[in-house]
Each structure stands twice: as structure tokens, then as C-alpha cells.
Amino acid sequence: MNSVKHIVELLVIGIVILAVIACVNYSKDTYYPINNKVVAADTKLKASDLTLEVRDAIADAYATLNDLIGWERKVDFYNSADVEELRRIVTSIDNIAQLPSDTALHTDLYNVRDLLYIGIRREDEQALLYAFRIITDLDTAFNDHFTLKVWDYSLAGAGNGKHVDKVESYIRRSTD
């Protein structure tokens, strides 16, 4: 009787382990881009797919946003120099975002741009925080930026993009 009980326990443990492995692999290897379609990880853009200009613009946006609102953020934010830096990032994104509109990177960059507009116009730190999280995921994916935290706010960058709907909803609410 005890041997049957042990076999059942081992089977249950085995099933749980297989389920956990399946979930981890699914969430690691799938992403949720445009229109919530599940896309395999191997179809995402690689750093080598981007021009140096695009990668440099992402790195510059990351560095600027990190200085303004990252972990070591400025205390006296929203002075005119800070706003000019944000506008410079918007211009940079407008200059590089000449990508096909159906790409995840295009969506990410335009979400960043829209969030920066909202942040500038309304002095909205939440919008800037969302923009920073998207840029961090992009910089991690395309510029080998090491981070301990993947935010999952980007479709094309590191992570699975699970917060993109929240960001796009925030943009719609903030521009109505």
C-alpha cells in the first residue's frame, strides 16, 4: 500500500514539475505584441537587425531618462533644461522611427514619444516612468545594457511586453 502511495506522490510531483517547466518556457519564449498575438521569441528583432543610428538613439534616450528619473534621479525635476532634454529625445525618436508601422519597435518608440509628450505637457512623472521602462527594455535588448530588472513594457525589447496594454491605455486616457 505504501509503495502505491509513493508512486502516486512521485507522479503528482512530476506533473507539477512539468507544468512549471512548461509555464517558464512559455513565458520566456513568447511575447504579446500588437493585437495580443503570441509571437515566438526567435521572431523578435536582434541588435544586428538595427542600424547603429537606432541603437545609439535608444542608448542616448536611456542615459538621459536614467539621469532624470532613474534610480539616481534628480530631485529638482522639470526645470527648463530637463524639459529641453526630453524634447531632444522626442526629436531623436521622430528622426529614427521611420520604420514600418506594423513593427513592434515602431510601436515601442511611438509609445515612448507619446509618453514623453504627455510627461512634458502635464508634468506627468508616471508617463515618464513608463517611457523609461520601455527604453530600458529596448536598451537591454539592443545595446547589451545589463539590468537586474526587465520591466516587460516593451514589445521589441527585453521581456514579454505584458504591460504594453496598460501603457497604451494610459496614453489613450491621457490624450483624450
Per domain, the residue ranges of the chain are 1-31, 42-175
Integer angstrom CA distances of residue 163 from 92, 113, 170: 24, 17, 11
pLDDT of residue 1 exceeding 70 = no
- Taking only the tens place, the pLDDT of each residue in 41-57 is 556 777 888 888 889 99
**Beta carbons of 100 and 34 less than 8 angstroms apart:** no
pLDDT at 129: 93
Q: What is the mean pLDDT of residues 98-105?
A: 76
26/155 Cα distance (integer angstroms): 16
**Beta carbons of 102 and 34 less than 8 angstroms apart:** yes
Confidence band, pLDDT 50/70/90 cuts, at residue 108: very high
pLDDT of residue 98 exceeding 50 = yes
pLDDT at 19: 63
Burial of 110 (0-12, 13-18, 19+ CB in 10 A): middle
Q: What is the mean pLDDT of residues 69-80?
A: 73
pTM equals: 0.75
